[in-house]
Amino acid sequence: MANVQTRNIKKKYGSVEVLHGIDLEIEDKEFVALVGPSGCGKSTLLRIIAGLEEHSGGDVLIGGETVSDLTPKDRDIAMVFQSYALYPHKNVYENLAFTLRMRNTPKGEIDTKVRAAAEALNLTDYLDRAPAQLSGGQRQRVAMGRALVRKPKVFLFDEPLSNLDAKLRVEMRTEIRRLHQDLNATSIYVTHDQVEAMTMADRIVVLHDGDIIQVGKPMELYDAPATTFVASFIGSPQMNLFEGNLDAAGGHFHVSTGSSIRLGKQYRSEASVTLGIRPDDLELDASDAADIQGKIRVVEHTGGETLVFVDTPFGPLCVRAPARSQARVGDITGVKIDRERLHMFDASGLRMSAGGA
Amino acid sequence: MSVSAPILRRRANQAALYLSVCTLVLIMLIPIGWMLSTSFKPLRDVFQTPPQWIPDEITFKNYVAQFNEVLGTLMLNSMIVAVGAAVLATFVGAMTAYGISRFRFKGGALLMLFFMGSLAFPVPLLMISLYSLFVKLGLLNTYAALILGHTAVTIPVSIWLLKNFFDQLPREVEEAAYVDGASPLKVFLFVVLPMARPALAASAIFVFVVSWNELLFGLTFTSTTDMRPLPAGITLVFLQEFEGAWSEMMALAVMVSIPVLILFFFFQKTFLRGVTAGAVKG
Ligand SMILES: Nc1ncnc2c1ncn2[C@@H]1O[C@H](COP(=O)(O)OP(=O)(O)O)[C@@H](O)[C@H]1O
Ligand SMILES: [Mg+2]
């Protein structure tokens, strides 16, 4: 069993607190992504779990036992660094073998394990090369190999793909996911890229300014973001967010220009709220049934779909339309809203639930 | 073809720079040139007036005369002492520098200032205290005395050079080694030292050259020819036994410089990389 728990983890650099008490429960064999904008404390948290950084308060548990006093070596973890951190003076074979040598593994066993790891990562032909003679993708695979040559309880990844080009990044996403399944290990994966988090993780932890904002399955975060921050962070293109207020009955949303939308649901009446609608939940609609009228400003064809940006009385709006949409810049168009999928946030940015009259 | 004013100005600056560098190099080369010139002159021509750069009569006798048993002993002594000091100062310097660079503790910066300040100590003063120390330890007239003495005067530079290098070495590689299961000592020996090769080489070359040329400690800490290093040996041999044999002395000086030249010839790139590593970032 290798579940990972953090209890009220705090971290201070000097007088600045960068983690404000992180409570996490990561199940055995789970793949959890820590996601958040740059500087929110993801790496710091991961490094505290690894034992590379001391925490200022709280406790880290692996397999139910506290590891706060253990060195990285004794925590039975492996880590893949963003910079790969390969040993520049050792060839690929020795890079992979180093961890086994440090743990006094018998020679024959080292060779078997190194070759198996190299095989799994298509590195067999490069075992004699120095890291400097490898491409970025190959270096990345060596960094992965160094982690999986030994079977650790927990894999830690710190933005392992961010130095790769887009195509390789997509390939490696599936690759890492596959390795995670083959190895039956617990994985914690740090990334600032919400697409990586959405596609790879069983569960996502959203961090913002040193606090956990929301924890949930990818689609839970997508369908019910807990705050406006999560709403705008998860999903691409971004959710459309409008500021306005609810009428006394809580059934209509008004903006300062005077326009309003019927919500088809009841919220508790709030003076100042944010309405969110995903581009997927909007549809261009020329008929009278349209909810909002606007003028098309930009049309982006991405191939599989078309993104249409419309200026409306509520503000600029992004609509995800089918491929080969006939929308033309300058056209006046109607936009239809899927009322089942509206998101409402109160003045402090917290999600409001509908129904409570 | 017309050249714009800024380009002209830059060229003028460059010309001025080259001119001053050339002048400096020339000034430094004069004694070396004179040493070379004298080493090929017969003794009677050494003080001829007016002085002549190109000797009227070129002789190799001065060189041939040097190949004797004493030279062999002096060379070997110097080699042992210089290599010993280079290894010791560099290794201890590396450990010190790494400790200060990586393990944050109060007083690290102060310690670095202290090392730097110790360079301002007058060497004769240091010599006296080292002498009484070596008397007590029974180390007088041994290689150890010279190795320790030369280490003491060179290690501050070695520490500074290596700390600059470690400061700009990415920590993640060491962290990866910790995660891989290495102890701090193993990280230092198997990961940090191999990565620091250019800086280690720079430090070792520096210490070697200083030790190879050092005269005062060589004179005072040794009392017999079989322990004496080259500079001390040359001085004593020529000033006592063959007083005034200037041309032979210069021939020997030329021969003694050759190992240093060879060292720089093979390692100049490494040396420059090691010395400038801290200066050129990213
Ligand atoms: N060694 C350090 N000293 C001082 N502040 C640091 C240090 N490392 C990180 N920080 C600060 O802690 C915060 C979180 O950093 P980090 O965990 O690296 O963020 P992320 O990985 O999410 O981009 C940042 O504001 C950063 O400036
Ligand atoms: Mg980071």
What ipTM did this prediction achieve?
0.87
Residue B51 lies in a domain: no
Ranges of each domain in chain A:
4-228, 237-352
Given the DSSP bridges, would you call strands A282-284 and A332-337 parallel, antiparallel or unpaired? antiparallel
Q: How many Cβ atoms sit within 10 Å of the Cβ of residue B102?
A: 18
Q: How far is CA A77 from CA A93, B41, B179, in A?
A: 20, 73, 7
Q: Write out residues 185-244 of B within 8 Å (CB-CB) of A.
A: 186, 190-191, 194-195, 197
Average pLDDT over residues B136-155: 95
CB contacts of A85 in chain B (<8 Å) are 170, 172-173, 175-176
For the residues B17-43, what does the mean pLDDT come to?
92
- Contact between A85 and B182 using a beta-carbon 8 Å cutoff: no
Please check whether residue B53 lies inside any domain of the structure: no
Question: Token digits for B70?
Answer: 């004493």
- For chain B, the straight-line distance linking the first and the last C-alpha, in angstroms and rounded, comes to 38
Predicted confidence at residue B241, as pLDDT, reads 66
Range A267-277 average pLDDT: 89
CA-to-CA distance for A166 and A157, rounded, in angstroms?
A: 18
Q: What is the DSSP letter of A174?
A: H
Which stretches within B180-229 are classed as H helix?
A: 184-186, 193-195, 197-213, 216-221
Q: pTM here?
A: 0.84
Q: What is the DSSP string of A311-324?
A: EETTEEEEEEEETT
In the block, tokens 């040396």 appear at B271
Enter the DSSP assignment of B170: -
Tell me which residue has tokens 């992979």: A96
Query: Residue B95: pLDDT above 50?
Result: yes
Q: Does residue B251 sit in the same domain as residue B112?
A: yes
Note whether B259 and B166 are same-domain residues.
Answer: yes
For A83, which of B172, B178, B191 is closest by C-beta distance?
B172
Nearest one of B81, B85, B217, B101 to B159, comparing CA atoms: B101
Give how far Cα B71 sits from Cα of B63, B150, B224, B229, B237, Å.
11, 21, 14, 10, 10
| d(CA A39, ligand 1 centre) in Å | 6
Please report whether residue B74 resides in a domain.
yes
Are the beta carbons of B36 and B254 closer than 8 angstroms? yes
Residues B168 and B76 in one domain: yes
Closest chain B residue by Cα to residue A97: B180
Separation CA B41–CA B71 (nearest Å): 21
| pLDDT > 80? residue A24 | yes
Whether a cis peptide bond, with omega within 30° of 0, leads into A225 is: no
Q: Which residues of B212-229 are buried (b: 16+ CB within 10 A; e: fewer)?
A: bbbeebbbbbbeeeebbb
Question: Minimal CA–CA distance to B205: which of B257, B165, B260, B279?
Answer: B260
> Which residue has the least CA distance to atom 25 on ligand 1?
A39
Give percent of chain B above pLDDT 70: 95
Residues B102, B30 share a domain: no
Cα–Cα distance, A292 to A312 (Å, whole number) = 7
Q: Please report whether residue B103 resides in a domain.
A: yes
Inter-CA distances, B188 with A103, A266, B94, Å = 17, 65, 9
Contact, A154 vs A2, CB < 8 A? Answer: yes
Q: What is the CA radius of gyration of chain A?
A: 24
State if residue A87 touches ligand 1 by the CB under 6 angstroms criterion.
no
Q: What are the respective helix, strand and coil percentages of chain A, to the nearest 5?
A: 30, 35, 40
**Residue A232 confidence (pLDDT) above 80:** yes
Band the pLDDT of A357: cuts 50, 70, 90: very low
Residue B242 pLDDT exceeds 80: no
C-alpha Rg value of chain B to the nearest Å = 23
Residue B176 with chain A: CB contacts under 8 Å:
79, 81, 85-87, 146
To test the pocket of ligand 1, the residue of A44, A83, A158 to mutate (highest count of ligand atoms within 8 Å of its CB) is A44
Residues of A with CB under 8 A from a CB of B: 50, 52, 71-73, 77-79, 81-83, 85-90, 98-99, 102-103, 146
Amino acid at site A11: K
Burial class (CB in 10 A: 0-12, 13-18, 19+), A201: buried
Same structural domain, B16 and B94: no
Q: What are φ and ψ of residue B241, in 5° steps? A: -80, -50
A44 lines ligand 1 (CB under 6 A): yes
Instruction: Choose the CATH number for A237-352 among 3.40.50.300, 2.40.50.140, 3.30.1360.120, 2.60.40.10.
Output: 2.40.50.140
Q: Are residues B250 and B169 located together in one domain of the fold?
A: yes
**Does B54 map to a domain?**
no
Is B263 or A47 the better-scoring residue by pLDDT? A47
The total number of structural domains that make up chain B: 2
Closest CA to A186 of A202, A208, A167: A202
pLDDT class for B276, splitting at 50, 70, 90? low
Helix (H, G, I), strand (E, B) or coil at B187: helix
Residues B109 and B159 in one domain: yes
For Cα atoms B26, B28, B32, give the angle at the middle one, nearest 5 degrees. Answer: 100
- B69 and B34 share a domain? no
Residues of chain A found within 8 Å of residue B179, distances taken between Cβ atoms: 50, 52, 72-73, 77-79, 99
Q: What is the DSSP letter of B239?
A: I
Burial of residue A7 (CB within 10 Å: 0-12, 13-18, 19+) is middle
| Stretch among A34-43, A63-72, B248-257 having the lowest mean pLDDT | B248-257
pLDDT score, position B279: 44
Are B31 and B95 found together in one domain?
Answer: no
Q: Does B282 touch chain A (CB under 8 A)?
A: no
Tell me the two tokens of residue A173: 């996403």
Can you read off the two tokens belonging to residue A73? 């070596």
Rounded-to-integer distance, Cα A228 and Cα A273, Å: 10
CB contact under 8 A, B182 and A83: no
**CB of A12 closer than 6 angstroms to any ligand 1 atom:** no
Is there an atom of ligand 1 within 6 Å of A95 CB?
A: no
CATH code for the domain of B93: 1.10.3720.10
Same domain for B111 and B35, yes or no, is no
pLDDT at position B277: 58
* Contacts across the A-B interface (CB distance below 8 Å): 59
B181 touches A at CB < 8 Å: yes
Question: What pLDDT sits at residue B278?
Answer: 45
Q: Is there a single domain that holds both residue B132 and residue B11?
A: no
CA B178 to chain A, closest CA, distance in angstroms equals 6
Mean pLDDT of chain B: 89
Cβ distance A73 to B176 less than 8 Å, yes or no, reads: no
Phi–psi pair at B218, nearest 5 degrees: -60, -40
Nearest atom of ligand 1 to the alpha carbon of A11: 12
Instruction: Answer positive or negative: Cα dihedral of B244, B245, B249, B251.
Output: positive
pLDDT at B282: 32
CB A77 within 8 A of CB A155: yes
Fold classified for A4-228: Rossmann fold (3.40.50)
- How many CB atoms are closer than 10 A to CB B169? 19
- B180 vs chain A: nearest CA distance in angstroms? 4
Of all residues in chain A, what percent carry a pLDDT higher than 90? 83
Tell me if B282 is assigned to some domain.
Answer: no
pLDDT tens for each residue of A153-183: 999 999 999 989 999 999 999 999 998 998 8
Please say if the pLDDT value at position A7 is more than 90: yes
From residue B64, alpha-carbon distances to B39, B46, B233, B251, B255 in Å are 11, 18, 18, 9, 11
- Residue numbers in A near B175 (CB within 8 A): 52, 72, 79, 81, 85
Q: Which residues 111-170 of B are in CB contact (within 8 Å) with A?
A: 170
Q: What is the share, in percent, of chain A residues with pLDDT greater than 70?
A: 99
For residues B42-46, average pLDDT: 85
Q: How far is B152 from chain A (nearest CA, A)?
A: 31
Instruction: Calculate mean pLDDT across residues B37-61.
Output: 86
**Interchain pair A98, B179: CB under 8 A:** no
Contact A154, A60 (CB under 8 A): no
- Structural domain for B220, as ranges: 63-276
Distance from C-alpha of A89 to C-alpha of B190, rounded to nearest angstrom: 10
Q: Are B176 and A81 inside 8 Å of each other by CB? A: yes
Check pLDDT > 80 for residue A325.
yes
Do B115 and B35 share a structural domain? no
Question: Is it the case that residue B201 has pLDDT exceeding 50?
Answer: yes
